[in-house]
Amino acid sequence: MKLNLEGEKKTHVEAKSESWFYSPEVKEHFFHPKNIFTSEEEIKKFKADGVGRVGSPACGDMMEMWIKVKDDKIVECKWMTFGCVSAIASTSMLSVMVTEDGGMKIENALKIKPNDIILKLGGLPKRKVHCSVLGDKALRAAINDYFKKSEQYDRIIVEDAKVIDKILKVTDKDIEKAVLDGALNFEEVQKKTKVGIHDKSCIPEVEELIKFYKKKYFGE
């Protein structure tokens, strides 16, 4: 995924007539976003402990976030997005909030609400408030990914998804993402998600979900 900042800035400039809607903080974080990746090379060099991706470029906004964790604190938070002014500014501010002063404890980062970000930005237009949710969701996804990679399964937070693997807390959304990422059979999905390694009883349901998502997205 590539961030086209110039394109985003052009969109912002073209909407100058509405620029009064945005606070100085929003403008600062949009035109000078903090902790943002601007190339694939930067991503490759960054050894993330957790990665989160939400949204879809086909539908509009998409956000991807990478975090590094030390002593249960988020010490680095990087991101890229296809998104609007508010999405970029909100995520930039969020990345600062969770890494300042040596890093925020994960338990406190999970308590951050979109409204906390909006307050830090000096407000957002009501029709753009939903954009502040994108970074928040990506952060939660990255933290959950960190929990999985570090085998802290009891700390995984499941939201708006059905848990399929009761032991590793793999959800239907995890399986859907694996299929979208190219895993088209059970072995490939298991390799990506570890589903069914300990909870064997979920395997038939996983296989049915794989068939469902393959038909839904690829017509197979």
For the chain, domain boundaries: 5-153, 163-218
CA angle 178, 129, 27 (to 5 degrees): 100
The label of the residue with tokens 């906004």 reads 61
- Asked if 121 contacts 89 with a C-beta cutoff of 8 angstroms, the reply is yes
- Asked if 202 contacts 196 with a C-beta cutoff of 8 angstroms, the reply is yes
Global pTM? 0.73
- 5-153 and 163-218, same CATH topology: no
Catalytic residue among 77, 84, 131, 202: 131
The yes or no reply on domain 5-153 and CATH 3.90.1010.10 is yes
Six-digit token string for 149: 């990679």
190-210 residue pLDDT tens: 999 999 999 999 999 999 999
- Asked if 62 contacts 81 with a C-beta cutoff of 8 angstroms, the reply is yes
Is residue 59 annotated as part of the catalytic site, yes or no? yes
The beta strand positions in the chain, using DSSP E, are 50-55, 62-70, 73-82, 104-105, 163-165, 170-171
40-94 residue pLDDT tens: 899 999 999 999 988 765 545 688 999 999 999 999 999 998 778 888 999 999 9
107-153 residue pLDDT tens: 999 999 888 888 899 987 777 676 677 888 899 999 999 999 999 99
d(CA 143, CA 132): 18
First to last CA, the chain: 26
The yes or no reply on domain 163-218 and CATH 3.40.605.10 is no
